[in-house]
Chains A and B, each alone.
Chain A
Amino acid sequence: MLAGLAVLAAGCGKSTGSPPGKIVLAVDVPVTGSPYVAQTIRNGAGLAVDRLNGGGGITVGDRKYKIVVKLYDNHLSARRAVENTRRALSAGAVAIVTDGTGVPATWQLARKDSVPIAITYDGATGLVDPDTRPNVFRIAPTNHAIAFRLAEYTIPKGLKVGLLHDDSAYGQEGAKDVDSAFSANPKSVATRMTLPAVATDLSAQILRARRSGATALLVWGQPSTIAAVLTAARTMGWNVPVFTPPTGADPYIRQRLADHPDWVDGLTFASGRMTAEVGAAPFKAFQSQYEATYGADKVGVTNSKGKQVVQPPEFAMYPYDFVNVLVAALTKAGSVDPHKVLPELNQVTTQGANGDERGFNEHNHEGVVDDDIYFARFHDMTYSPVPDDPLSSTLPTIPQTR
């Protein structure tokens, strides 16, 4: 009897399909692990969905559909991401938008149903491969690009860089790319160090870095790690320049160092540029739309003039853009069947929130090109593009105070 049930079971476990007239979009993000990232992705996707639904929904084939967003919390756990992916597939999701947690495991599950997974935050190398993972896409700056741009930016300055990373998955992944980026210039590396992600006091490690002769620090880690590094360095009177990946822009750092805003001054991070060649207008329009819907993302600190500092919704662009690409693919496919939609994702392009073109093809599932990485530096709790980088110097400063 059990054997017979098992045979039946092999054919079961398929999704129940989307409710009629509705298209399910799953958003799997670390609500309880990294709330800012989760909120950004959720809001970005939600903004696109609200705009589309507000216009009466989307037309696929000869039918109108409204998009329903189902939010799942992956707790920054790959295992939880797998469970959420199963739930999303059972709910009939046509796509899954994620920060990137657990993709090495979840893509296999989603692949069986031809459901695309869109990574909109994690730039780790190896996550995206059109040949082996044809259902995984990314619209976010890649770690590889950021690491090489950081090397490109710091090495010519003659800096001796201390390469620090924390032991989180994010830190360890980034460290590989950083090592690769600096491998051609070993003399520019003063020291390499792994920092405990959970530690709040990194004085000993920063002292070691100082003693190694480092004249700059490149810190690849969680916002808490970056905050701890700044605290340790500035407390001992070491005004070393600190460079970071996009996590340097996380509001958490400024919240932690709200009592010492001068410690944040000079912090430089690399990220995908907010504005495009067409100018700042598209992004500003997106920002207005975002803030009209969700309110400005208050960082929780003020600048020296007492104005509230807000965070531009730069990472919200990416899930927003993916939703638009997805809708274009749905429309082109004329069907909500993921098996028909997935191939079309390689065929369509749309205009992104900042005016850049967003799209994929069979050989490239990266939606942010490596050349679009810029640098921004903090001053008085806000940041602006650096003047000493060819790309960054052409970009406008997005207002960040209210």
Chain B
Amino acid sequence: MAAGRTRTELGRALADARAAWGSPAWVAVAAIALAAAVPFLSLPWVRVDALAQTVYLAVTATALGLLVGTAGLPSLGAGAFVAVGAFTSALLVAREDWPLEPAALAGALAALAAALVFGGVVRLRPAFVAASTWALAWLVWLGLLAFPSISGGSQGLIVPDRNLLGLDATPTVHFEVALALLVLTALGIAAVRRGAPGLELTALRQAPPLAVSLGVRLGRRRLGAFAASAFVAGLAGGLSVQLAAVADPASYDPFLSFKLLVAVLLGGAAATLGPAAGVAVLGLIALASGPLARALQLPLERFDAAVAAILLVFVLALGGGGIVPWATRRLAHLGWFQRVRPSLQVTDCYKEEERREVPGGLVLHAQGLRKAYGGVVAVDALSLELVPGEAAALVGPNGSGKTTALRLLSGAVAADAGQVVLGDRDVTTATPSERVRLGIARTLQTVTTFPELTALEDVLVGRSVRRRYGGGIRTALATPNARRETAASEGAALEALALVGLRDVADVETQALTTSERRLVALAAALATEPDVLLVDELAAGVGADELERLAEVVARIRSGGIALLLVEHNLRLVRLVSDRVLVLAAGHVVAEGSVEEVAGSDAVRQAYLGAQTL
């Protein structure tokens, strides 16, 4: 039975691959075949050992591209992980007589462990990520110099000859292995970029608060990318050190990390093969700079570093896009190459997840919530209850604490006092992503969508919180469960878009949509998390009067699914159209609560807020 299922899944995978196969794939295959043939062409100017080292470097850079490009974390520590992998592998081979393959794998695991130990940096802002990882690069290098008993001193650790995959480890064998590793890494990175992990990393890069509000776990996702990048770097280091035959600290100085980042930015962090292209360009420049350095009687190492620094400034000055994205745009402009987004294929295997039963009738109960910022009380003694399918509105003048109230309910800020209960579960201390998982979703007031994503991709970010098989490894390996779940997620995301009336713009980039459409996309993303409670901030902001009816219909559809809504609104017409109940906040306190008519007739409310306005 298992064999039959495997056959079925393989058949499906082959069918998908055949459907996706096109001229770019043929070009890629031809390029790989040509590259693999290079050592056998006996080209006199080609040094196969140098080529192999370059390809190992490209492997490291490709993995770094995921971290820099997709996750937006400019790591200057990749060289440190290469060094950890290299020296771990070298020590095991030289001193413990290990074969090369397990030694290299041990190097990769050591680099992974180092990444996990140092992984706290992923929560920092990009500038501090760069600074911290740069410090790591120095730390590792200085550590190697300080312990010559480990590193072999200035001349390094000699790595004895070993076979590689049962073959005599000549430079040619290393080149082919490195090329295979590059292809596999690129395929894996491409799959991750396209899949849920890539979407989440992109979302975290573009708008971290919005991504977190949709349940994306910032620390876990970024750490995953950081660790994956380190693992690949360690593996490349563990293999390349055997080719070099010497593990010497001088080859793993902080400049290696700098060069890798330059390669990523030069080639294009946004493109899977951009970093490899960047490494190739740096290699060609090194070939040219050798004779130039000799002519100018400059040490080549310093000259090389100067060239890399100049290139970095050049790339950043031109916008930092990189060679491959530029080339892709030019080719697309010439009609030679079109960026193809995978077509949506919703399979029959999609299975609707059962809605969670909420006991007791109340879906949300908040009691006595308080939040003060220094001496300023933003919210005090806020209590409210929601039942399934109810729509309540929270209104009040600017600065009355409405958004703070939403932030308290969603967990974006910790309450100074009070309690939040979802169903029968106290979620007062739960993090925002945990609350999303438990059923409280929120839209943000100012940042509504992820600018580089399409409407569908935006909603898929929200959907990812419900995925079980959306991890990096499963996505990279395209396991049957991951693929099935991807199709199911796309179906759910399309349903969410349909519910808000935007199914037709699923493939449109969000920055091309109108303001109201973007707010609806944000609503769909929150709906994709399958909430029990939806906290909506300023749904009608920037919306024309003629669109209010449409919004009211959307809210009605959401309510009919049993979801409780709490809307923060300035647009009192929309409040009148959709709300069962209104709470009026003034100076952080609820000054009135009741039906629209009851609140509209209250003198206290009029005094505090409405003034010339009426509900």
Contacts and interface: CB of A to CB of B under 8 A. Distances in A.
Interface of A: 1-2, 5-10, 12-13, 16, 32, 77-79, 82-83, 86-87, 90, 101-102, 104-106, 108-109, 167-169, 172
B167 A10 contact: yes
Contacts of A1: 33, 36
A104 B49 contact: no
A13 B300 CA distance: 27
B165 A6 contact: yes
When A and B form their complex, which 6 residue pairs have the shortest distance between CB atoms, in order from nearest?
A13-B170, A9-B172, A10-B167, A169-B155, A105-B245, A78-B246
Contacts of A78: 155-156, 158, 246, 248
Interface in B16-37: 33, 36-37
Contacts of B180: 2
A389 to B, nearest CB: 32
A5 to B, nearest CB: 5
B251 interface: yes
B368 interface: no
A8 B170 CA distance: 11
A6 B170 contact: no
A5 B179 CA distance: 11
Contacts of B177: 6
Contacts of A5: 36-37, 40, 176
Q: How large is the interface on B (under 10, 10 to 19, 20 to 34, 35 or more residues)?
A: 35 or more
A168 B148 CA distance: 11
B156 A79 contact: yes
Contact of B246 (A2, A13, A86, A102): A102
B62 to A, nearest CB: 17
B49 A83 contact: yes
Residue from B154, B155, B248 whose CB has the most chain A CB atoms within 10 Å: B155
Given A2-B179, A6-B177, A32-B299, A79 B172 contact: no
A102 B152 CA distance: 12
6 contacts: A5-B40, A9-B40, A9-B172, A77-B155, A83-B47, A168-B154
Interface of B: 33, 36-37, 39-40, 42, 47-50, 148, 153-156, 158-161, 165, 167-168, 170-173, 175-177, 179-180, 244-246, 248, 250-251, 299-300
Contacts, number: 93
A106 B171 CA distance: 14
A105 B172 contact: no
Contacts of B42: 16
Contact of A102 (B153, B155, B161, B173): B155
Nearest to B29: A1
A10 B36 contact: no
Contacts of B172: 9-10, 12-13
A259 B33 CA distance: 64
Contacts of B245: 79, 82, 105-106, 108-109
Nearest to A79: B246
Contact of B250 (A79, A86, A167): A79
Contacts of B50: 83
B482 to A, nearest CB: 25
Nearest to B161: A108
Given A77-B248, A105-B245, 11 more contacts: A1-B33, A5-B37, A9-B173, A10-B167, A10-B168, A13-B173, A86-B171, A104-B155, A108-B161, A168-B154, A169-B154
Contacts of A105: 158-159, 245-246
B400 to A, nearest CB: 66
A7 B39 CA distance: 13
A12 B40 contact: yes
A8 B168 contact: no
A324 B92 CA distance: 42
Nearest to B241: A79
Nearest to B152: A78
A67 B180 CA distance: 41
A12 B159 contact: no
A172 B173 contact: no
B154 A6 contact: no
Given A9-B176, A87-B47, A169 B158 contact: no
A12 B49 contact: no
Contact of A9 (B158, B175, B250): B175
Nearest to B49: A86
Contacts of A90: 47
B430 to A, nearest CB: 49
Given A105-B159, A108-B161, A172-B153, A10 B33 contact: no
Nearest to B180: A2
Contacts of B299: 32
A8 to B, nearest CB: 7
A8 B248 contact: no
A79 B36 CA distance: 25
B98 to A, nearest CB: 17
A379 to B, nearest CB: 34
A244 to B, nearest CB: 20
Contacts of B47: 83, 86-87, 90
A50 to B, nearest CB: 24
B52 to A, nearest CB: 10
Contacts of B175: 9
B167 A2 contact: no
A105 B147 CA distance: 20
A87 B36 CA distance: 21
B417 to A, nearest CB: 60
Nearest to A83: B49
Contacts of A108: 160-161, 245
Contacts of A168: 154
Contact of B244 (A9, A79, A101, A167): A79
